[in-house]
Amino acid sequence: MSVNIDYSIPDKVLKYEEFLNDCLKEDLKKVHAELDGVTSELAEYIQLKNTIQTFIDTDISKEGLKTKVDIGCNFYMQAHIQDVSKICINVGCGHFVEFTLNEALLFIEKRLNLLNKMYTLLKKRSANTKAHIKLVLHGIQELQNIK
């Protein structure tokens, strides 16, 4: 048994507008939030890669490193790191792994490749959602011109 509901044109327009606002635009916001997260993570890994490369190029492991460490609430304390031949990197889920500088560079390259793929997929999802939005807007416009 099939139920045949015949909507009037204003009702159809209203349904399309609800779909547009409740589904498509919300999906687009989520995708853009994910894109922002991936972009900031990419920037952090690129900065870390450049820092490690500077450590390797300047052979900083001989004299150590003087730095400032945030101990919370933007309070900083001077620190001296004697052994900079190893570094701990957050690999996800709150787990840190100790790497040598060269191992860290390899890990960062793999992570950057993964993040770039994620970025590309999210950009495609964004483009698809924008295309769906344009399609629904065009459909609404045609329904309103039928009047």
Half-sphere exposure of 14 (CA within 13 A, CB side): 5
The predicted-structure confidence for 80-92, as pLDDT tens digits, reads as follows: 888 888 999 999 8
What are the residues whose beta carbons fall under 8 Å from the beta carbon of 60, sequence distance 6 or more?
A: 54, 84
0.85 exceeded by pTM: no
Rounded distance between C-alpha atoms, residue 19 and residue 17, angstroms: 5
* All structural domains of the chain with their residue ranges: 9-141
Given a cut of 90, whether residue 60 has pLDDT beyond it is: no
pLDDT tens per residue, range 113-123: 999 999 999 99
DSSP reduced 3-state for 9 = helix
111's CB contacts (< 8 A; 6+ apart) are 45
Give me the sign of the Cα torsion angle 44, 79, 59, 92: negative
Q: Which CATH architecture has domain 9-141?
A: Orthogonal Bundle (1.10)
